[in-house]
Chains A and B, each alone.
Chain A
Amino acid sequence: MLRYAGKRLLAAIPLLFVVPLLVFLLIGLAPGDPAVVLAGDNPTPERVAAIRDQLGLDDPVWERYLRWVGAALQGDLGTSLLSDQRVVDMLTRRMGTTMSLVLFAMVMAVVLGAAMAIVASLRPGGLVDRLVNWLASIAIAVPAFWFGLVLASLFAVSYQLLPAFGFEPLSAGFWPWLSHLILPGIALGLLPAAEVTLQLRSALGQVLRSDYVLNARAKGLSRRAVLFKHSLKNACIPVVTVLGFRVAEVLAGSVTIEIIYNMPGLGSLAVDSVLNRDIPVLLGFVLFSTSVVVVVNLLVDISYGYFNPKVRA
């Protein structure tokens, strides 16, 4: 098992180098020049050229990439072009917000999605099953930013039950932390929750028609025992496999949600860095989110061994 996990981890490492390379190449294609932004109002061409030279922007792409990799391997992600702050510091300061938000959304997706799928599977084709399917289909079609705005205007503005924006770290207390997460977390978790619902429901549907479920009934097990013991674990295999992708999706979605709820997270940092051509910050963000996806996929692979004994061999 440990060897299996180690192998998966090794296989993931190249990804951490390839994704930043793609960012380098793509940024080179995009219009806009950080030197122009930095030079202030009405800069002389000489000043812009000087800044470009100072930042090493005129060097070839591969040289800049290798320089960045070399520094990154030593734990140095550079400093922001705009504020002279260290990128590592900027990321760590804002990481808590985004990770809290992503965690809330994923927990909601798994718990709500699993509950809905199980309730729907109790009576396949029944009223509840159709209702769940209908609700999940609608939820998939709802854009997160719109749903976020609706939630904010309802529960934060009209009823004033929950804060409409900002973020409190967990160190400020559990409720302040949670209360700032509920609305944005629900807005962000709705889509993955609906996806988990539909996927688990369809996987359960297949498993419930399988020979081993019929056999479990022939052994004298109740419908409930068959559902919880002999179906759920098997049906989780396809769901767990894609849960890793869902994390990437939620991480991407957190960008818009953080902006709507004015949360000081990585998403707003990333957007600012793109608008300002603040390449080191953008690269730092990309490296961070790639790492998160890699780690989550590794966890998924490991848990896959639990759900599916065949891959353990």
Chain B
Amino acid sequence: MREQKTAGQPLLEVRDLAVEFPSASGGWTPVVQGVSFTLDQGESVALVGESGSGKTVTSLAVMGLTGVTGGRVAGGSVRFDGRELTALPEREWRRLRGPGMGMIFQQPTRSLNPAYTVGDQIAESVRRHLGLGRRAAWARAVEMLDLVQIPRAAERVHDYPHSFSGGMCQRVMIAMVMACNPRLLIADEPTTALDVTVQERILQLLRDLQEQTGVSLLFVSHDLAVVAELCQRVVVMYAGEVVEQGTAADVYFRPRHPYTAGLLASIPKPGLRAGRRLTAIPGSIPAPGSWPSGCRFHVRCPHRDPGRCDLRHPEIVPVGPSAQARCVRADEIELSGVTVG
């Protein structure tokens, strides 16, 4: 089935995606608007931005889970392997989630059902999607726990989630998702809730798995430092829309949107002298429904040009061979990226 894919066609293509959630007044508030990006077979793409920028909403829309969380996809298209997903019937979706794409979440300990053993929860998806029998599915569960480097996998498979640490739960989640051989793995802030040391090991595990299985990765994170270790391309989101995207090199070394530059400047650097404050972007991200007119970032932007930035909402335009930015002043301003040295 994998071989049927026509060459040159992206595995995932999101175009003009719009997602809305019910507002307090009874209407619908747009939360994500006009989001477009692609992801090639085997590629790792990062979706970055502050909390509330619409990253998770976007990734849940790709999984077809917007309705489960109470929202609705208001427009646009999501194509997976050339197949349009936005109007896919629920039965087809159920067949796609698992073997097509799987997702791991920010809170691994809360994403596993406390009432069932981890083996039961892994075997459940395997039985459903790969049609394995009970024994074969449990054997697969042990194999997967072993693959994600959980010690004594054959014993731990009978344990309940509460006896696993956060990092171990995330390994179980990864085992569960990878057990069905998905083509796309969506990881929504998979290390945010974990200790820094554990974080590093989970990232290493994701890298190893990608190498072994060739799974494509959509990595959602607010942490550009983490993203740099893992992804070839970066999509930066702000206030429900994509503000910049390009290769990791483009985005890290030659940012073209002031928001990206702000995010990069707020990464803590080694050798930071004590007493020097970390740079932060002033203000906070506006909530959906209260986005400012013009450029949604202009109120927080150090480069804003009153009369231009606050009036017209800018389009996202090419700013290089592989990069796009949503800033009218992209060609006028000098932004500094990450400096190596």
A126 within 8 A of B: no
Select one of A219, A229, A309, A310 contacting B97, CB under 8 A: A219
B110 within 8 A of A: yes
Q: Which of B100-108, B282-290, B323-331 contacts A (4 or more CB under 8 A)?
A: B100-108
A233 and B69 form a contact (CB under 8 A): no
A127 within 8 A of B: no
Q: B-facing mask of A206-224, CB < 8 A → 1, else 0?
A: 0000111011111111110
CB distance from B183 to the nearest CB of A (A): 14
A234 and B102 form a contact (CB under 8 A): no
Instruction: Kindly list chain B residues whose C-beta atoms are within 8 Å of the C-beta of A94.
Output: none
A218 and B65 form a contact (CB under 8 A): yes
Select one of A212, A220, A222, A307 contacting B111, CB under 8 A: A212
B163 and A313 form a contact (CB under 8 A): yes
Instruction: Kindly list chain A residues whose C-beta atoms are within 8 Å of the C-beta of B213.
Output: none
Instruction: Kindly list chain B residues whose C-beta atoms are within 8 Å of the C-beta of A211.
Output: 105, 107, 110-111
Select one of A215, A309, A310 contacting B105, CB under 8 A: A215
Assuming A211-B107, A229-B116, what are 16 further A-B pairs, CB within 8 angstroms?
Answer: A210-B110, A212-B112, A212-B113, A214-B65, A215-B105, A215-B173, A218-B65, A219-B124, A219-B128, A220-B95, A220-B99, A220-B125, A223-B90, A229-B124, A230-B113, A309-B114
A215 and B112 form a contact (CB under 8 A): yes
B196 within 8 A of A: no
Instruction: Kindly list chain A residues whose C-beta atoms are within 8 Å of the C-beta of B117.
Output: 309
The 6 tightest CB contacts between A and B, nearest first, are A220-B98, A220-B97, A211-B110, A309-B160, A215-B111, A212-B113
B103 and A218 form a contact (CB under 8 A): yes
A212 and B97 form a contact (CB under 8 A): no
Closest partner residue, chain A, to B112 (CB atom): A212
A220 to B102, CA, bound (A): 9
B112 and A220 form a contact (CB under 8 A): no
Secondary structure class of chain A's binding surface, majority of residues: helix
A308 within 8 A of B: yes
CB distance from A182 to the nearest CB of B (A): 35
Interface size class of B (residues with CB under 8 A): 35 or more
B72 within 8 A of A: no
Residue contacts A-B, CB under 8 angstroms, 17 given: A211-B107, A211-B111, A214-B65, A215-B111, A215-B112, A215-B173, A217-B97, A218-B63, A218-B103, A219-B176, A220-B96, A220-B125, A221-B94, A233-B115, A234-B114, A310-B114, A313-B163
Instruction: Kindly list chain B residues whose C-beta atoms are within 8 Å of the C-beta of A229.
Output: 116, 124
Within 8 A of A (CB), among B122-141: 124-125, 128-129
CB distance from A279 to the nearest CB of B (A): 48
A223 to B69, CA, bound (A): 13
Known interface pairs A218-B102, A307-B115; A212-B65 also in contact (CB < 8 Å): no
Instruction: Kindly list chain A residues whose C-beta atoms are within 8 Å of the C-beta of B105.
Output: 211, 214-215
Within 8 A of A (CB), among B156-182: 160, 162-163, 173, 176-177, 180
Q: Which of A212, A214, A216 has the most CB of B within 10 A?
A: A212
B68 within 8 A of A: yes
CB distance from A200 to the nearest CB of B (A): 15
Instruction: Kindly list chain B residues whose C-beta atoms are within 8 Å of the C-beta of A214.
Output: 65, 68-69, 105, 111
Instruction: Kindly list chain A residues whose C-beta atoms are within 8 Å of the C-beta of B162.
Output: 309-310, 313
A309 and B115 form a contact (CB under 8 A): yes
Q: A-facing mask of B45-82, CB < 8 A → 1, else 0?
A: 00000000000000000010100110000000000000
A218 to B93, CA, bound (A): 10
B115 and A219 form a contact (CB under 8 A): no
Closest partner residue, chain B, to A307 (CB atom): B115
A308 to B161, CA, bound (A): 11
B114 and A218 form a contact (CB under 8 A): no
B68 and A217 form a contact (CB under 8 A): yes
A230 to B125, CA, bound (A): 13
Q: B-facing mask of A300-313, CB < 8 A → 1, else 0?
A: 00000001111001
